[in-house]
Structures are given as C-alpha cells and as structure tokens.
Amino acid sequence: MIGIFDRLSRPFLWAFDPEDAHHLAIKALRLMPLPGAASDPKELGVRAFGLNFPNPVGLAAGFDKNAEVPDALLRLGFGFVEVGTVTPRAQAGNPRPRLFRLEADQGVINRLGFNNAGADDVLARLAARASRSGIVGVNIGANRDSADRTQDYVRLIETFAAVASYFTVNVSSPNTPGLRDLQQAQALDDLLGRVIEARDRVQPLAGPTPVLLKIAPDLTLADLDDAVGVARKRRVDGMIVGNTTIARPTWLRERDKARETGGLSGRPLFKLSTRMLAETYVRAEGAFPLIGVGGVDSGATAIAKIKAGATLVQLYSGLVYRGIGLVGQIKTELVAALGRGNRTSLDAMVGVDAADMTAEAWPA
C-alpha cells in the first residue's frame, strides 16, 4: 500500500513547485483512508524522557507545522511525530519562493520563516485528538515581531502542556532573524529557566511534559559547551541535534540553488549534523537522551546516528527523495542490525562511536 502510494505520488508531486507539492501531500494524508499502523517489533521499542516509543524513527518538525495530519503520519509507521514550529500568533512567513530542492545533492533549502496558523488553531486540532494514542511532540518558537521572545515560549508551554507528548524549544531556525542568539549562554539560561519553571507550574494539571532543546549544527564547539552546560544545569529532558545549516559545503553540485538564503537539510547535512551529535553526546555524559536529525535517508544513516549518540532519530528531507516507504525500510534495517549483533534492543548501540568520531577531522 505504502509502496504503491510512493510510486503514484512521487512523480506527480515532483511536477509541482516544492511548496505546492507539500500542500498536496498534506491534503492527500488528510483525505486518504489509511489502515491502522502495523505494530512494530518489540526490539525497536525505546523508552526515553519517560515516554514509550514503539520505534525510534520520528518525523522532524516543519512537515506538519499546523498539526493537520499527525495521526495519518503515525499510521504510516513513524514512532513519533513532531508538529510545529508553532508561534503564539499566526504568521505568514517569508515571501515565496522559499523552498528549494537541490536534487543532484538530495538536499533541501528552506527559508519559510515559521509560517503557521498560530497557537489557537493548532491547539484546537491537538485537543480534538487528545484521547488518541501515539506520541505527538509540539515544537515551539517565537513570533518574528515579538517584543518578548522568552515570554512567547512560556505562553506556548502553558497553552500546549495538556496536549503535547513533549515540547521542543526551537532556538535554532535560521529563518527568524536573531532567534539563534537565544542559544548564547546567558540568554539560553534565562529562557530554559523560565520554560522549565512554566512546565513545572502547569504540571499538576497537565502532567509531566518533557522539554527538549533543539540546537543548530552551526554552533562552535565553545558555544556547544555552553549550550549543553546550560541544558544540564536547567535539567532539560533531552536535546535534538539539530536544525538546518546555514553553511554550504563547497562540493554541492546544485551551485545556483545553493546560493539561496535559508537552512540546508538532507544528505548534505548528514556529516556535520552527525559530528555535532557525537560532540553533544560526549558533553551530555548521559545526563539526558538525544534525538539525531539531519540527512537520515536509509537504515545505514539511521544506525550511524544511533552510534553517534542518538536514542531516537528524526527525518524530513529524506521523505522528499525516498517517499514514505523510507520509514519501513529503516525499521527493517534496524531489526536486521539487531539480529546481526544478537541484540534485543538498540540501547547498547547508542553512542558507541561518539568518542572516536570526535577525534576525526572536522567534516568538510
């Protein structure tokens, strides 16, 4: 069923402008009758942040910004879905075109700029599905024209705590000017202090909601020292490594498109984001689990993320090039890798390559 969907939809979707294709994909997922998800093999189950994930392959933020189709995506086999980024008020984002496929590089550049329907709209949808099972995280961010960005995050924690399986504090989008400055030690300490305080304040009513910090792969290692230090001090529940990069590897083949402003994702991001994941893992020293994101487009890349320190992985751009069948393919390859190692869980693989990776030359 999924294979047929991919074969029919991919050539069709590729005929459209990338953003129109995305809207069509969301519409198809909204309308398509889907069977319930087949249950995952027991050995793919992961416990992290106090949650039980049926498998470690998640959908990264940005695909379902307005929480229109989280249940369809779970039924297609994802172990968890992250909706958003949601901002308090709806905003249109940057002018189009703002999404580009770097086909020869299997990459994507976007400068969407947090286009989303706003907190009220997204809350209504998540509240309508609140009785359903399945892990749906909410990725939160500040409005571009906000006078008090920290207050935006606090408000969103209060708004969504009862319906979010977890929160991702997104301070790493390159498309909202100045947002990434919130990763600096002092600003991050203040932000995470207030976010965690808000989460703890609403906990008696909303239950415990894990808070994860999503960082940019472009931090210097000195900035990463600070970010992990602050995350540990403020006792966040985990980190996501990471967002899109503003860097442009010199070897990109799509040179014209590579000049577009925005965040680069997909295959060209794999090496940098995996190195930053390993660097984060060695600094976290097991204080919290990590989610590895960036260029996951096969079983091998998912396994590399796990060995670099990821307890869970997420992907987005891989879907554009591989289709939804990618999720099942990764899960099959993870089960095969466990079988080869005579293992019954992925736990023992997490971080085994991290220390060695941090000694390698910096990826070009």
Ligand X SMILES: Cc1cc2nc3c(=O)[nH]c(=O)nc-3n(C[C@H](O)[C@H](O)[C@H](O)COP(=O)(O)O)c2cc1C
Residues lying near ligand X in the complex (CB under 6 A): 60-62, 65, 84-85, 99, 108, 110, 112, 139, 170, 173, 214, 243-244, 265-266, 269, 293-296, 315-318
* DSSP tag of 50: T
| Cβ 107 to ligand X shortest distance, Å | 8
CA distance 278 to 85: 25
CA distance 221 to 185: 13
Instruction: Name the maximum alpha-carbon separation found in the chain.
Output: 55
Using DSSP bridges, classify how beta strands 211-215 and 99-102 pair: parallel, antiparallel or unpaired.
unpaired
Residue (87 or 209) nearer to ligand X, CB: 87
| Cβ 306 to ligand X shortest distance, Å | 15
Q: Is the dihedral of CA 305, 354, 246, 193 positive or negative?
A: positive
The tokens describing 36, both together, are 């319930």
Q: How many CB atoms lie within 10 A of CB 218?
A: 19
| Cβ 274 to ligand X shortest distance, Å | 11
| Cβ 102 to ligand X shortest distance, Å | 11
Sheet holding 99-102, edge to edge: 99-102, 107-110, 263-266
Residue (16 or 344) nearer to ligand X, CB: 16
Residue (54 or 141) nearer to ligand X, CB: 141
| Measured CA distances, 273 to 217, 295, 337, 363 (Å) | 6, 8, 22, 10
| Cβ 52 to ligand X shortest distance, Å | 23
Residue (28 or 43) nearer to ligand X, CB: 28
Residue (116 or 159) nearer to ligand X, CB: 116
Exposure string for 24-33, b = 16+ CB within 10 A, e = fewer: ebbebbeeee
Cβ(275)–Cβ(362) below 8 Å: yes
Report the residue number whose CB is nearest to ligand X.
62
| Cβ 163 to ligand X shortest distance, Å | 18
CA distance 279 to 273: 10
CA distance 362 to 364: 6
3-state DSSP assignment of residue 112: coil
CA distance 211 to 270: 25
Question: Catalytic positions, please?
Answer: 173
Residue (201 or 248) nearer to ligand X, CB: 248
H or E element in which residue 304 lies:
helix 299-308
